[in-house]
Structure 1
Amino acid sequence: MGLLKGSDETERVGMQGWRAKGVQRRWLQSYAIVLLIPIIMMTATYWQTRHVINDEIHRANSALLSQLKLEIENYTDYVYRLSEMISLNPKVRSIISNQQNIDAKDRLNMKHAIADFKSYNIANRFVDHFYIYFSAGNFVLTDSSYYEDELYYELNYSQSDLSLTSWRSNLAEEHRGRFMSLGEFSQGARPGIMYAQSLHFPSKGESVGTTLVIELNQSRLMESIRNLQSYNQGSVYILDDEDRLLASSEQASAQERSFQLPESKNDSSGTITEDWDGKPMTLSYIKSETTGWKIIYALPSELYSQKAEYIRNLSVLMLAIAAVLGSILSVWMAKRNYDPLQRLVRNVAARSEIEPSRGSKGTEYDYLEEALDNTLDRYKLMNQTIERQNQALRSSLLARLLKGRIKDGVPIAEVLPDHGLSLRGSGVAVMLFYLEDYSGFFRIDEQDAEKKREFVHLVMTNIVEELAGQEHQGWMTDIDDMLACIVNFNTETSQEAAMAYLKGVAEEAQRFIGSRFRILFTVSISSMRHSAQELPAAYQEALEAMEYRMLQSGQSIIWYEQTTVRELAYVYSIEKEQQLINCVNAGDYVAAKSTLDEIIDCNLEQKNVSADLIRCLLFDMCSTMMKAGIEANLSREELYEENLAAIRELSSGSTVMVMRERMSQFLQRICALAEQRRKKSKYRLYDGVLALIEERYGDNNLGINMIAEQFEVHPSYLSRYFKEQSGETLTEYINKWRIEKSKALLLQDDIYIKDISDRVGFFSISTFIRLFKKYEGITPSAYRDIHNAQD
C-alpha cells in the first residue's frame, strides 16, 4: 500500500507540473495564435487587395493581348507569304508585261492565274479577298474572276465616298508593302485592314503601276477581338507602326482617340492610365516585334476598385465569423482532445520504468517519446541479440553436421526445425567455395582484412542460398576457412537432375558474383547422398575434390566423381633433369622454358593424375633449379630465397598455373645471370644499366629514355642491346625488379599498398596490381595475406 501511495503521489506531482506548461495549455496558445493570424493577414490584405487585383487583371490582359498578338502576327505572316507567291507567279509577271495588249495567250494566263489564286487562299482563314489592279490595262484580276476596273469599282466601292478617279489614283501610286485601314482607304465602304503592294514599279516618265491589294478576314479578326472583350468590359484598338488606327472594337469615336504610349524600344508591353471623356481608363498594351503594331486594351479603372472592395468586405465578414466560432471551438476541443492523452500518460506511467515525475521537465509528449524510445531500444537490442545467437547456433549446427559431430541416435530431421531448417527430401550434396581473390571488390584504402572477409562471406551466403533455393533449398556456413553449402533436394530428384542443378547453381554463382562483385572463387561438388546422416561423407568428398584446385585455373568447378586417382607416379627422368640444368648453364632461357613446359604438360596430360603427385613433381623441379643455380656457380642469395618462397607458396596450395609462371620467372633470372656471368668482362654497359635500375627503381620517370641519356647512347640501341643480353625488354626487367622490391615491403603490414606502389616507382596503384598479378599470379593483398598466414 505504501508503494502504491508513493506511486500515486509521484504521478500527481508530475501531472501538476504538466498543467503549468503542458499540452493543454500549449493547444490553447496555438489556437489563439491561429486565430490571430487571419486578423493580421486581413489587415495587410486590406491595403494590398487593390494592388493584387490590379496586378491579376494586368496579367490576364497581358496574356489575352499576347494571344491576340500571335494571331495577328499569323495574319501578317500569311499576307507576306501570299504577296510573295503572287508576285513571283510567272503568269502574273507575263500579264504585267503585256497588260496594254492582252492577247489570247494572256487571257489563258489569266485563267491559270485565277486557278493559282484559289489554291493560294483555299481556306480563307486569314485573307478574305485580294485582287491585282493593272492600271495600264484598266482591269482587275481577283482570286475568283476578271473585271474591268469600272465594273469592279461599281461592285465594291460605289456605295462609298471614294470616287473612281481617286480609287484609280490611289492604286496607281507606289506602294511598298504596307497595311492600312480599309475604311480609311475606301472612305467608309466597309471596315477592315488591307495590304497594298506594288508589283510593277513604273520607269521614269510613267505614272501608273500594278498594285496587289489583300483584304484581311475582318470577321475572324473581330471574333478574336471579341474573345478578348469577353473577359472584361473594355475596348480593343490595333495601331500600325506609325500609330495609325487599323482596327477597333469601338466603331463610333475610335478615329478620334489619341494614345500616348511610351516610345522606348524596351517597353514592349505595359499598362498606363489616361482620361477619356472625363473617365479614368486603364490601357494595357503590347507591341509586336515583327510588325511594330500595337494592340491596346482599354478598361474603365473603376472595375479594379469594385473587385477589390468586394473581396475586402467579404474577407472582413468571414474573419469575424471565424474568430467567434474559433474561440468557442478552441476551448472545447482543447479539453476534449486532452482527456485521452491524460489517460494514456497515466497508463504508460504505470507500466514504464521512467518515473512520472520526470515528465514535469517537459510536456506529456516528451514523456511518452522518452518512454517509447526506451522500450523500442530494448526491443531492438533484444531482437539483435536473438538474431546473432540464432545465426551462430545455425552455423554451428551445420558445421557439426558436416563434420559428423552429432551424437549417435539423435534424429537430424528433428534437430533442424529448432533452428528454422527442415528437410524437403532425403537427397543431399555439399558444395565447397574457396575464395581465390576479392581485392577488386574493395577500395585500396580498406585495410581491415577480417571485416572484408566477413562481408564477402555475407554476400556469397545470400546469393548462393538464393540460387540454391530456386527449386530446392541450400544452407550456407563457414567451415575451415571456406564456405560450404548443404543442398537438400526435393523428393524424387534423380542423380542426373541433382548434378545438373548443382552445375547450374555453381556456374550462375561464379558468373553473377564474379561480374557484379569481382569475387573469384573455386567450387568443389560432392556426389549426391541419399540421407542427411551421410553429410559428413559428402563433405569429405568435396574436400578431396578441392585438393585438385592446384591443377585448375581460377574460377573452376571441380566434381568429386571426376577426381578418381589411378596414376601412382609422375614422369620426370634424369635425362630431362640434366637437360634442364644444361640449358641453365648455357644461359638459354628459351630452351630451358621449353623443357620446363614439356615436363609439366607431359604429366598434366595423364588421365586422372593425382594432385599430390603433381605437387611432388613441382617440388622436384624446384630442387632441380636450385641444383642448376649451384652448378652455374651463381652466388645471388636472392635467387635461392625466391626459390624457397616458391616452395612455401606451393605448400600453401598454389595452383599449377601460378607455380608454372613463378618457376618460369625464376628460370629466366637464373639463365640471365648465367649469361651475364659469361659476358661480364665484355659488356660493362649491361652491368651499369642493372646497377642504375637497382639504385633508382623508385623513380617513376625511370625508363629507356632516361637510362639512354644517362649512358649517352641512343634509346633504340639500348633497347636492342639489353634484349640481346638479358633476353627480355628493358621495360619488362624494370617492372619485374620493382615487383621484387615490392614483395619485401608487402611483408610489412604497416605500409599501405598504395604507398608501396609509389615507393617502387609505379605511376598508379592499378598498374602495380595488374603487373604484380601478371608476374606473381596473385594480387598484392593476397600475397600479403598468404605470408601473414604463414608467419
Structure 2
Amino acid sequence: MMAAKKVFSMTLVKYILSFSLIFSIPLLIMGGLMYKNMVMNVKKEIEAANMDKLQQVKEAVEGQMKVLQHIAAKISYDPRLTSYMVRNDIYTAKEAITELDRYKESSGIIDDLFLFFRGDSTIYSSRGLTSLATFLDRYYKFENWGSDTFIQDINGTPRPIMRPSEKVEINNYEEKRYLTYVVPIPFNQDVPFSTVLFMINETLLTNLFEHVLGEKSGSVFILDENKKLLATKSKKTSLVFREVADSLHNIQDTGVYNFRINGEEQSVVYLRSELNGWSYVVSMPTSQFLARVVETKTLLFYVLLSLTSVGLTLIILLSNRQYKPIRGLMQYIQHNWSGEAEKSTKNELELIHDTLVTTFDSNQQLREQVDAQLPVLRERFLTDLLKGSFKSKEELQKNPFYQEFIASDASYIVMLLAMEKERGEDGQRAVFTGSTQLSFAGGEAYAVELIHEGTLALVVVMNEGNDIHHKVQSFAKELHKSLEDKQGVQATIGIGTPCAEPEQIGISFIEASAAMEYKMKAGVGSIIFFEDIMALQEHAFYYSVEEQVRFMQSLKQGNETVAHEALAAMLQSIYDKSVSILLVRCMCFDIINAVFKTISQMNVGDYSHRIRGLLEFQSLQELENRLTELVSEICGAVQSLNENKNMALRDDIVQFVHEHFRNYDLGLDQVAVRFHLSASSLSRYFKEQMGSNFTEYISDLRIEEVKRELLQTNKSIQAIIQDVGYEDISQFRRKFKKLEGVTPAQYRSLYTKNSQ
C-alpha cells in the first residue's frame, strides 16, 4: 500500500506538473527566442547568401553584356570597319578581319564575332568573310533559327536581340550550344547600317554562376524580359525549365519562394534585373537549400532535449524532496490513525488537512477536558493529603501536583470552615470566587470541599518564618471577617496544629476536625485552635489528650490507620506510667468510654454488646486486641456508610442528568447548584463515581439517543441532533464519524438495511 502511494501519489504528480509548468514557460520562451535568433537568422543568412550569389551572377552577366555593347559601339565607330574600308581592297579587308579578331578577344564569353552590313550578301568574322548562304549552310546551322528568320533579323532588327541558348552545328561536324546576341549599329540611330553578332558559348556564360550551386544539386536559369529561358546550368538534377516555368509565372518581386515541383519541395531564389528586365533564378531542393537550417534545428532540438532532460530530472528530485515531508506525514497517519487514512480516496494534502483538523478538534476537546479536570485533580490531590493516603514522601513526590503545592522548608496546617446553614452552600462557594487558592502574608491556602462533611478544608502552606500561630490566626480572622462583611456568612473555623512534612497533613486535618467539635461550646462563628483545646484538658488525663482526640476523630472519618496509631499511642502511655491498678483501669475505662461516645454520635450500628465485652478485659494486651479488632470493624462500617451516601448522591445526580441531558445549556455549574456543590467538587465526585468526566458522560448519552432515534424514527438528522441538545450540527457530525466510523446518514442507511 505504501509503495503504491509513493509511486502513484497524486500530490507528487501535482508537484511534478506544477514544477513542469513553471519550468516549461521559460523553456518555451527561451526555445522561441533561440529559434527566432538561430533558425530564423540562419535561414535569413542562407537566403541572403544565395541572393548575394545570384546578385553576383547578375552583375557578372550584366558586366559581360555591357562589354559586348561596348565592343559593338566601338565597332560602329571604328573607321577600319566601315563598309567602305572593308570592301575597298584585299588589304583593308584583311585589316578589318584582324580588327574583328582583336575585338573578339576583349570578352571571355565570345566564341566568335560577326559583322554584317545590311543589304549585303557577305558576313565578316575574325576568321575571314563568307557568304550568308555558306555561313548558314556550312559553318553555323542553328537548331531553331531558320535562314529566312536569320536574314530578316540581321537586316531589320531595330534593337539588340538576345536569342536563347540553342544547339548549333559548326562546320557540319561539331555541335555547341550558343546564345546569339544580335546588336544593330550604330546605337541610337533610326536606321542602323550594320549588325554585330556575338556567338556566346553557353558553357562559358554559365560558368559565371558555377559557385551559386557549389556542391548542392539544383539549376540556375537566366530568363529574358518575357521570362523565356536564355541559359541554364544544372547540377545533379534532372529538373528542366518547363517544370519550373509555371511556378515562376506569377513571381514579380525579388525574393526566395518555396514550391512543390514534381512532388519535391523546391526553394527558388528569384532576382530581376532593372537594367534589361532579365530574371535570374536558382532552384534547388529545400532540404539542401536549408541544410544549415535543418542542422541548426537539430542542434537546437538536442540542446532543448538536454535542457528538458536535466530540467525533468531536477523537477523529479525537487518534487520528491518537497513531497518527502508529506510522505512522512502520510506514513505516520497510515500507521497511527485508525486505518481510515489507508482507505481514503482523498489526496494526501486533503487527508492531512482533515487529519489535522480532526486532531486539532480532538486536542481542543482534550485541552478543554484537561483544563476542566485540573481543578478536579488538584482537589483529589488535596483530598488524598487530608485523608493521609500518602504513606511516604517518595510516594507523594510522584504526584504531578507535588511541585505546585509543596514547598521546601515550609510548614503545613489544615483549617476547616463550617458555614451557617442558611447561606452555607453559597458562602462555601464564595470563599474563593473563580479560584481555589488564596494568598496571604506568610503563605498560601488551597481549598477543597468536603461533600459529606458539609465543610470546606483549607490546606495552608506557611513560608519559612517564625510565629506561625500568629500568622495563621491573622489569616483566619481576615478570612472570617471577609466572609461576614462581603457575603454575610457566619463561619466557624477549626484549626489543627502545624506539621513539617506534607505527608502529616492528614493528622492536622483530624486535629482541625476535633477542634470543630468544640463549636458547641465556643459558639457559631468562633475560631478554634486544636492547641487551645489540648491546653484546657491536658491536666485531666494521664495519657495524651491530643492522641485521644485524634483517635476519636479518626474513628468518625473511618481512617483506620490513624485510629490504630492513636490507640497504640494511648495504650503505650498507660504501659509506660507507674501508677496504681485502679488508675490504670480508670484510664482504660476512659478509652472504652471514648469509643462508646464516638459510636453513639456516628450512628453506624449497635455495638453495645461489643462494648460490654470490652469491660471484661483481664489485661491491657487483651483490651488492646479487642479494641484493635473493634476499631477495624467500626472504620469499615464508616467507610461503607460513606459509600452508601455516595451511591445515593450519585444516583440522584445521574437521574437528574438523564432527565435533563437534552437541554443544550445543561452544564456542570447548573447541576452543582442543584445539589449544593461547587463545580470543581462535583466534577471530581462525578469522575470518581462514574469513571468518566461529566462532559463525556453527557456526550455519550446524546450519542446513544441520536443512534436510537436514527433507527427508530423518521425524523430528519438535523432535527434529531438539535433535539438532543447540540447547536453545532457540523461539529456533532465530525464527532459522530470519529466515534462510529460513519456519518449519521450512513449509520441510518447501513443499520436500517441490516435490520431489514
Which structure is richer in relative contact order (CA contacts within 8 A, separation 6 or more)? 1
TM-score of the superposed pair, with normalisation by structure 2: 0.33
TM-score of the superposed pair, with normalisation by structure 1: 0.32
